Structure 1
């Protein structure tokens, strides 16, 4: 461990990729699998463009339920330590698959939210965009105050492309990163796995923190089979 910490302290560029596991320690369900059922619906049945076209009110009800859970959650020690890490390296960036905003609430500024932000909405027709953590809609589905069209959650749904520029930046940053930490993510989504493989292929030391087996294991140099909170509680750099 001492050799690992010594090498990490010498790093010039560090990247972190986080998934649902880090926020699960703050009480936010993963919303995947049986534990993520809502009114007998699975996330994969609701987080799609097709579901929104079919029943926008149902999809919005689910997101408002999730938003309440996220708004009541608080950043945990892993979120806070990562915010501190941002100050420790010449170059640092955090890529998260989570939409709960806990990294920013913990103080992180160099964050790319790959899958969007549950507290933001955008118009399905015009360029109207709203981001407000304290805003809960009086009636569902909400409509655009500018053009009257439906608003939708600012989320990357299954089958949709990532936001413009996010992946270009991610690959650019990871091309010359010294370390990539993969924290609490299962590897069930293809693009984050590609990002980790790209970093590994370009010489990064890859480190996984996850108490469960994942789709990243074959491309990891170092693995810590523990929760994010446990790992970051005992790592001091």
Structure 2
């Protein structure tokens, strides 16, 4: 099947489906300048062991070191801009062709692109909270504290250490994940975008859908089961999908 035939088939599946959801991973944001985790040669986890740098035990053992490693990377996300794939998914939601987006990403790019139904199953970097009293703060408060010499950042109420509202290694899954497992019931079509589908439990979600479309630069364990597989740029693929739908992106 040619690339153009694949685009036409994806559009037909979207139009025919009565319940479509998207599942997105780090690969959708690489075109926004955010590196992914597992790409050969460039993936973050090839260079650093996440169990030592991005885990709950790493935060508890040496919180200052935890922030020294992670903070610059996290604050860089705030400068990234949504790309065509993010905007296309938001447009599909507004058109009534997409129920919403389940994302593994913590970069908030779906929200910034205008999507309103987003389940951020690994959390986000818009807020943080105290590990002792659970008081909530904007993530900017955490950044401001560290930049002004207070590392680790502390709660102004009780002095406890602040942590971002992301799911770290060794954390339990958050409420958005459990909501996502409910909302996918009856899913007829899942658009998997930029995910290697190797991180569980999220990688098990496509198995619930009747049909799967995979848009990812590298192969995934679900490729043989998918109705359509496109190993290409997510941004370009979604630009072409929107053109085929008669709703080209700006």
Regarding TM over 0.5, the answer is: yes
- The answer (yes or no) to whether the contact 1:12–1:89 under 8 Å persists in 2 is no
More helix by share: 2
Distance 1:230 1:91 in 2: 19
Q: Which residue of 2 aligns with 1:176?
A: 186
Aligned partner of 1:211 among 213, 217, 225: 217
Q: Which residue of 1 aligns with 2:89?
A: 82
Shift of 1:174: 1.2
Q: Which residue of 1 aligns with 2:165?
A: 154
Aligned partner of 2:129 among 106, 122, 129: 122
Distance 1:108 1:210 in 2: 21
Aligned residue pair count: 231
Shift of 1:3: 4.5
Q: Which residue of 1 aligns with 2:151?
A: 140
Instruction: Tell which deviates more after alignment, 60-69 or 205-214.
Output: 60-69
Shift of 1:135: 6.4
Distance 1:161 1:154 in 2: 12
Partner secondary structure for residue 202 of structure 2:
helix
Shift of 1:175: 1.5
Distance of aligned partners of 1:10 and 1:106 in 2 relative to their CA distance in 1, 3 Å threshold: same
Counterpart check, 1:53 vs 2:60: yes
Shift of 1:69: 1.5
* Runs of 5+ consecutive residues of structure 2 not aligned to the other structure: 246-250
Aligned partner of 1:24 among 17, 21, 30: 30
- The answer (yes or no) to whether the contact 2:10–2:241 under 8 Å persists in 1 is no
- The answer (yes or no) to whether the contact 1:211–1:225 under 8 Å persists in 2 is yes
Distance of aligned partners of 1:5 and 1:134 in 2 relative to their CA distance in 1, 3 Å threshold: farther
Partner secondary structure for residue 235 of structure 1:
helix
Shift of 1:71: 1.1
Q: Which residue of 1 aligns with 2:113?
A: 106
Distance 2:11 2:103 in 1: 23
